[in-house]
Amino acid sequence: MPFPYRPRYLLIVTKDGYGKRTPLEDFKPRRRGAKGAAALREDRKMGGVALVGDEGDILIVTNKGRVLRTDVKEIAVISRTGRGGRVIQLEEDDHVVAVLPLQP
């Protein structure tokens, strides 16, 4: 099933609440045997990832049941090697478990 919108970015949110939108062009196709492209530092763990466009909202869900709905435009566009900015403030022993795009 094709996307009803044109995804332009890979949205990455780490378990500790940092996020960024990276243009899909930053991820080049690899040949067989390649090790892929790093988008996070080794000390960070993935909380959620989604394909997003320029419009719409996203939901960020934590393991304690908190849900944050925010506009995609509020998350910075940063290169593949960039750290990203704080997207959600987390309590102790809380971490991001899912990221869900809500497109218009």
Summarised one tens digit per residue, pLDDT across range 41-72 is 777 788 999 999 888 999 999 999 999 999 99
Q: Is residue 64 part of a domain?
A: yes
* Whole-number pLDDT of residue 37: 65
- The answer to whether position 62 is within a domain reads yes
Q: Has residue 21 got a pLDDT over 80?
A: yes
Q: Which domain holds residue 87?
A: 9-102
Q: Does 30 reside within a domain? A: yes
Name the DSSP class of 77. B
User: Does residue 35 fall inside a structural domain?
Assistant: yes
Q: Is 52 part of a structural domain of the chain? A: yes
Domains in the chain: how many in total? 1
Contact 9, 77 (CB under 8 A): yes
pTM of the complete model beyond 0.75: yes
Tokens of 81: 């090697």
In a domain, 14, yes or no: yes
pLDDT of residue 50: 93
The C-alpha angle 7, 40, 50, rounded to 5 degrees, equals: 25
Residue 2 in domain: no
